[in-house]
Structure 1
Amino acid sequence: MSDQNPDDQQPLEELPLDEDFMDPFAEEEDQVQKLTAERDELRDRFMRALADAENARKRADKERRNAEQYGGSRLARDLLPVYDHLHRAIDAVPEDQRETNAALLEGVELTLRELGNVFAKHGITVLRPEIGEKFDPQLHEAMFEAPLPGTRAGDVIQLMEPGFMIHDRLLRPAKVGVSSTPAS
């Protein structure tokens, strides 16, 4: 037996142990955790970049479609007075002189018809609200308001100038007179 008393020996739990000896793979685990975190961060950045690229593609596609549909809006707006002037030219010829100016009227009407065809080809439609139609502030501009017996408040009572739409956008509102509450 040994000289030492068994009570004098230190228990195993209390012996100081080298940490590297305890976990020889601790350094590798730390490296794996760092690499996993870096991978996750790169995956996140990649997914965000992919989403940004997809959003940019969709935005560019929408802008391209808008340019195709509405790119001619300014030119169309500039042509609207030509449409109005051609109508005024036809309306300016008195009934008793229509037969003598038939060739001129026919030429103006053909020009007006061709302009209408060009408008239709590019998605431009004419807004001509009917008398008695309800006033719509999204499509009409009220030029005056007057009480008119036999009408309801807010009804169109006169069309002064037609309006125009390009596809689903308003180019110019129709200028109308609107009925107010009829006077008693």
Structure 2
Amino acid sequence: MADQNNEDFLDDIDEAEAQETAFETEEIDEVAMAVEQVVAERDEYKDRFMRALADAENARKRADKDRREANMYGGTRIARDLLPVYDNLNRALTAAKEAEGEASAALVEGVELTLKELLNVFERHGVQRITPEVGDRFDPQQHEAMFEAPLPGTTAGDIIQVSAEGFMLHDRLLRAAQVGVSSMPAS
């Protein structure tokens, strides 16, 4: 019986050790799962952080680009509104030069000075004139064809008349130069 008790006792110890080992294995598994969960959560937060950082950088770049564009092109509307003033001053200057007399000399000088000052203001703000000449090639990026006419001595696509100058604001077209274009067929 003592042997039986010893065997039972040893079996109980083996069973207790097996249970303890199983319990330790469960604890290790639970800890490993908890660690995996924490690592996955960390990776998710890291991914969110990197995305938020990238979004913030993109927003900063967009705002910087918008600020630069506003600085360069913010005056587009007023520049467009001033183009008819330039045209009218040009017409007045042409008409005054055609008239004769002492009074017209003072008028011509005043209009010339006003026109020169307007062009200086345009230049300071990045507005450049597009001044095509008769005989130049038509460029649809800078010219607007107001009419086409066959004119002997020209080739199709040559500018035969300039109705109005065009203007650019930095690299953007404010108004295309208005021109007449030859439609003379090639001989």
In structure 2, distance between residues paired with 1:180 and 1:66? 39
In structure 2, distance between residues paired with 1:94 and 1:27? 98
Q: Which of 4, 29, 40 matches 1:37?
A: 40
Q: Deviations over 1:31-63 (max 9, x none)?
A: 100000000000000000000000000000000
In structure 1, distance between residues paired with 2:103 and 2:174? 37
**Residue aligning to 1:149:** 152
Q: Mark the runs of 5 or more structure 2 residues left unpaired by the alignment.
A: 5-17
**Residue aligning to 1:109:** 112
Task: State the SS of the aligned residue for 1:164.
Answer: strand
Tell me which protein shows more helix as a share of its residues. Answer: 2
Task: State the SS of the aligned residue for 1:148.
Answer: coil
Q: Which moved more, 1:87-96 or 1:73-82?
A: 87-96
Tell whether the 8 Å contact from 1:161 to 1:176 is kept in structure 2 after alignment. yes
In structure 2, distance between residues paired with 1:158 and 1:126? 17
In structure 2, distance between residues paired with 1:122 and 1:60? 22
Equivalent residue runs for 1:4-153 within 5 Å: 18=19, 19-93=22-96, 95=98, 97=100, 99-153=102-156
Task: State the SS of the aligned residue for 1:157.
Answer: strand
Task: State the SS of the aligned residue for 1:182.
Answer: coil
Q: Which stretches of structure 1, 4 residues or longer, exceed 4 Å deviation after superposition?
A: none
Structure 1 residue 150: Cα displacement: 1.7
Q: Deviations over 1:64-99 (max 9, x none)?
A: 001110000000000000000000001112545155
In structure 1, distance between residues paired with 2:39 and 2:186? 82
CA RMSD of aligned residues (A): 1.9
Task: State the SS of the aligned residue for 2:64.
Answer: helix
Q: Mark the runs of 5 or more structure 1 residues left unpaired by the alignment.
A: 4-16
In structure 2, distance between residues paired with 1:96 and 1:141? 31
Superposition TM-score, scaled by structure 2 size: 0.84
- Figure out how many residues of one structure are paired with residues of the other and give that number: 170
**Residue aligning to 2:181:** 178
Tell whether the 8 Å contact from 1:135 to 1:178 is kept in structure 2 after alignment. yes
In structure 2, distance between residues paired with 1:22 and 1:75? 79
In structure 1, distance between residues paired with 2:107 and 2:120? 20
In structure 2, distance between residues paired with 1:110 and 1:72? 23
